Amino acid sequence: MKFLYSKSVLGVLGIKLSGRLKSGLVGFVLTCSLVGVSQAAELGAYMVQPASAEINSVAIGGTVIPFRSVVVSAQRGGRITQLYAREGTLLKFNQPIAALDDDVLRQQISGLDAEIEAAQSTLNYAIYAPDSAGSGMPGGVMGGMFSTMFGMPGGGSGVNEWLNRVNRIDQARARIKNLEAQKKALEAQVNYGAVTAPMDGIVTDRLVEAGEVVQAGQPLIKLAYVNQLRAEFDVPVDLAGDIAPGRSVFVKTAQGVMLPAPISEIAPAVDARTHTQRIKLDLPPGSGLRLGDYVELLLPRPLRADALGQGAVMIPARALMQGSALPMVRVIEGNGVLANRIVRVAQKLANGMVLVSSGLIAGEIVQVQP
């Protein structure tokens, strides 16, 4: 642990202080010596640290997500009479989720049954009525047809009358088929009232309650497959160059457990707003993680050759002045005066640190922005 100004540092820098300024600065130094560097940074000052080649990874925060998730929606409108799924409920494939009322649909089906029966009666009359069969001639419609064509008794009013009757028969049959098709469509709508699980999973969110009236396509629940979990991260573009599907990386849990995980998916495009690329990792079974848990992705990040040159140091990113055209920090001089100094930032490091290749030397004190 390195601390802020000590007498030896003041001596090396050749700083001569006197009077109240010296006593005040010594008091500040003693306070920082007791609390250490991290606490000193919170006080607004930080001692510049020398760079080390051991800084070779960066941590990126992410979230545990399900391997697959779906939104189950209503396939038709109606009132929810039963809602079997609750948040946290484990469902199996095809297990009931909800039931919609079908009173109106069944009334419509009953009406179609009556129309089909009437159409069937019309068809039977057209086929078997005496005048449709050639004034009682045996053979029905066909017999009447031949009687008409060959001038036999019972020919009726001729071929035209017979063709009209055949046309009425065809229309009656077509109407029956149309009504039966409508009935099948309504029966399918009735079956859609039984909403079932499309896969094994756990209910993560319930979007409706029993008694509500829903429309076709309205979401009912969210279902997640959790037998296998994934982790999702938004990786900055400057770190995403070396990632590839199938590459194994390490994920750190909130308890500090390191888990190996292969990269399973990489977004093809970069987010133009955040300049990040989304990736997904397959977590190993038995990791003990839950949906929504915070995890960190550890990506190897070797320092560039120029970054570890002679005199390279580390400072908090908050030490860089905001709004300046060039990277700049405020250095606390030996006389207590703040001096602006231009620095060269070589690389961003983990935990909010940056690597400075020139402009600062180890042991100097920089002001940290709150």
165 falls within a domain: yes
In the listed set 170, 192, 214, which residue is the last one of a domain according to the structure? 192
Q: What angle do CA 315, 316, 318 make, to 5 degrees?
A: 130
Residues 37 and 17 in one domain: yes
Tally the domains of the chain: 3
Residues 295 and 310 in one domain: no
In the listed set 300, 330, 345, which residue is the last one of a domain according to the structure? 300
Residues 251 and 316 in one domain: no
Residue 312 domain boundaries: 7-56+304-367
Phi, psi of 20 (to 5 degrees): -65, -35
Full-prediction pTM beyond 0.85? no
84 falls within a domain: no
One digit per residue, the tens of pLDDT, for the chain of length 370 reads 333 433 333 333 333 333 333 443 443 443 343 333 444 444 478 888 887 644 556 788 999 999 999 999 998 988 999 999 889 999 999 999 999 998 888 888 888 889 888 888 888 888 887 654 444 444 444 455 545 444 444 444 567 878 888 888 888 899 999 999 999 988 888 888 899 999 999 999 999 999 999 999 999 999 999 999 999 999 988 888 778 898 888 899 988 888 999 999 999 999 999 999 999 999 999 888 999 999 999 886 655 545 555 678 889 999 999 888 899 999 988 777 889 999 998 877 766 888 888 899 888 899 998 7
Q: Is the dihedral of CA 335, 340, 345, 351 positive or negative?
A: positive
Length of the chain: 370
**210: amino acid identity, one letter:** A
CATH code: domain of residue 285:
2.40.30.170
Beta bridge partners of 64: 231
120 falls within a domain: yes
75 falls within a domain: no
In the listed set 300, 333, 357, which residue is the last one of a domain according to the structure? 300
Per-residue CA distances from 17 to 30, 45, 102, 116, 136 (Å): 16, 19, 90, 108, 135
Contacts of residues 87-93 at CB distance under 8 Å and 24 or more positions apart, as own/partner, are 87/203, 87/204, 87/205, 87/206, 88/202, 88/203, 89/202, 89/203, 90/201, 90/202, 91/197, 91/200, 91/201, 91/202, 91/203, 91/223, 92/197, 92/200, 93/197, 93/198, 93/199, 93/200
CA dihedral 81→82→88→89, nearest 10 degrees, is -150
Pairing of strands 294-300, 276-282: unpaired
